[in-house]
Amino acid sequence: MTPLNAVLSPESVHSTLSVGWASTPAEILLAQKLRALAFGFCPPGTPEEDIVPECDQFDAFARHLIVTDTRTGQCLGTYRLLDPEGAKKAGGTYTETEFDLAPLAPYRARMVELGRSCVHPDYRQGGVITLLWSALARTLLTERVEFLIGCASVDLTDPALDPDRIWTYLRNRAWEGAIDPVTPYRPFPCVRRDSENGAIPALPPLLKGYLRLGARCLGNPSHDPVFKTADFPVWLPIFSMKGRYVRHFFRHVPENDRSL
């Protein structure tokens, strides 16, 4: 796959925001520290020099998309992309540390994993995530990626999120039927619990965004005790995406590139 060194000018969404692929260890470290902050591994307001970065064995083989503030150099958003070549070098994907992905064997050569998505708590109003998705769009289209895989997490410490109702909603509306289910290694038990009056249950923003693009759930959730989440395996065929959200995120990306 061809690396993408730059994707949008700062002026394309916000005059002080810029997005591109991390190209140095220092830039990857910024993303890892943001992940630690956004995932709750350190208190809000922790000085950057005191933040212990959140990292794993897949970081070295993945590409890290980062949004930065051009005034301060602060990392405000990040996404990790692990392509087939990187997954082969890493010995697999993060998703298969939680699930048996044997049913996806025929798709592996055309499948990219997205993960470790997060936005700084003070910048969750749309601009940062729009930059991330627009940049990802260009990469996916340029590299002709056909399938996306990843984990969509439900925070088990958030009282507004009901895993049973979310699981029931996914079973009714977004269950993948053409592929055999993937099996979680640490199943998180869910029971059928319909929402009152058939209303859509509260959904985590990332899961909601994937569903709007046409993503499907590949099976029952896995329990992640470290992150305190129930992780649903999400599958998104790129060329069957639908709706106005596709037009929004996958619109033409300007060519006035810049390097990080």
Enumerate domains of the chain plus CATH numbers. 10-249 (3.40.630.30)
pLDDT at 254 over 90: no
pLDDT at 53 over 70: yes
What percent of the chain shows pLDDT beyond 70?
A: 87
Rounded-to-integer distance, Cα 244 and Cα 258, Å: 28
Alpha helices in the chain (DSSP H): 25-38, 84-90, 127-142, 163-173, 205-213, 244-249
- 22-33 pLDDT, tens digit per residue, is 999 999 999 999
pLDDT band at 243 (very low <50, low <70, confident <90, very high): low
Question: Contact, 64 vs 55, CB < 8 A?
Answer: no
- 151-178 pLDDT, tens digit per residue, is 999 999 999 999 999 999 999 999 999 9
